[in-house]
Every structure is written in structure tokens, then in C-alpha cells.
Structure 1
Amino acid sequence: MDVAWWDRWVYGSEPDDPERGPQPGHAYVELVGGPLDGMLLDVTGWPPQDVVDGALLMSEHGAFGPGGRSDYAPAELGLGSEAGEVGRFVWQGDVP
């Protein structure tokens, strides 16, 4: 079952937050694979180099449990992104 873009949770929002989905005027990337698969990451205002570098995101459901982080990097061309666009961050693994 495919979840509509507007029904997805944004990383960092709380389950009971009525605005846990994407907000107008914000830029998002989809997290693909790993413990945060399917969530959206708000990259609004990120400097371009930070988007290229990807993100280490806190995840209680990763290999290292609470306090661990999941490493996500921009998808390579041919995996869903077009030149100059980072639409997806792909899971690289978990770190303590």
C-alpha cells in the first residue's frame, strides 16, 4: 500500500502532532531504507553542501537502539534523482 506524500510523517515530529506531515513552503527529501524508511526530512534552509553531505539522524529503532544514529546520503543519479535535484536520501547504515 503506497502512502500519499501528504500522509507521510516528517522526521522529528511527534505521533500526536496534528501537523506531523509536510507543510506548504517547505522542502523535503524522502528517507529510503533503514529504520526511518518512508519518512520525510525537512531540508528547508539547509545550505547546498549540507544537502550533498546527507544526514546522521537519531533513531531509536536502528542497530544501536536509543541514542544511535542512522546515516542517510543523497541518492545517486539513476536511483530516483535527476541532475541537480536531491529527492531521496538512502540509508547507508547505523552508527553508535
Structure 2
Amino acid sequence: MNGDEQLLRGRVYGRDHDDPDPGPLPHRTYAALMGGPLDGLLLDITDRQPEEAGDGVALATELSRWPGGRALYDPDPAEPHRPGPGVTCRFHYTGDAP
């Protein structure tokens, strides 16, 4: 695991890496990002509407194929999304976009 990967593990996407506690909060709901440049990060999905449950995300990152581009992650429809706080599902890397 390189330094960038270690920096990302267990951290919530969008939280500052200098934050003294960049990890998950107990009352929020998260998707674990699997694979790709953001592997190991958690994505806060607390405010996603039920109709968005199957929608993927395009997350800005300097670690994508295109610096300043986006890493694309989609939920696996075969994996159930359980309600409640904590890590409730996984989003899998599907590619990059400029």
C-alpha cells in the first residue's frame, strides 16, 4: 500500500485530510468505496433519497486517470442496502471521467 492509499483508508470522502478525526460519525450512513483511486474511503450517503439508492456517483479527485477528473462508483444492485447508521453498502469503481 503506498502513502496515498494509507492516507485514504477509513477516511470519509470530502473531509479534510488534516482534520484530526476524518473518520465516520456514528449517526451518519456511509457507502464503502471499493477499488479505483478512492479505494478504502467512505462516502457519506445519509442524505440520499430512497429513489437515489441505485444511482452511482462521480467523485472529484486528483487521483483519477485525469488530474482534476472524476472517479465513477456504482452500487451493486445484487448487494442489499441496509438502512441505518454506519457502513451500509459498497460502491464499486467503474472508471474515470475527465
> TM-score range with shorter-chain normalisation?
0.7 to 0.9
Task: Give aligned-pair identity as a percent.
Answer: 42
1:33 counterpart residue number:
35
Q: TM-score, normalised by structure 2?
A: 0.79
1:62 counterpart residue number:
64
Any gaps of 5 or more consecutive residues in structure 1?
2-6
Report if aligned partners of 2:76, 2:92 keep a CA contact under 8 Å in 1. Answer: yes
1:54-93 alignment to 2 at 5 Å? 54-66=56-68, 68-77=69-78, 81-82=79-80, 84-85=81-82, 87-93=89-95
**Structure number with higher strand proportion:** 2
RMSD: 1.8
Aligned length: 86
Higher relative contact order (CA 8 A, sep 6+): 2
Q: Which runs of 4+ in 1 moved over 3 A?
A: none
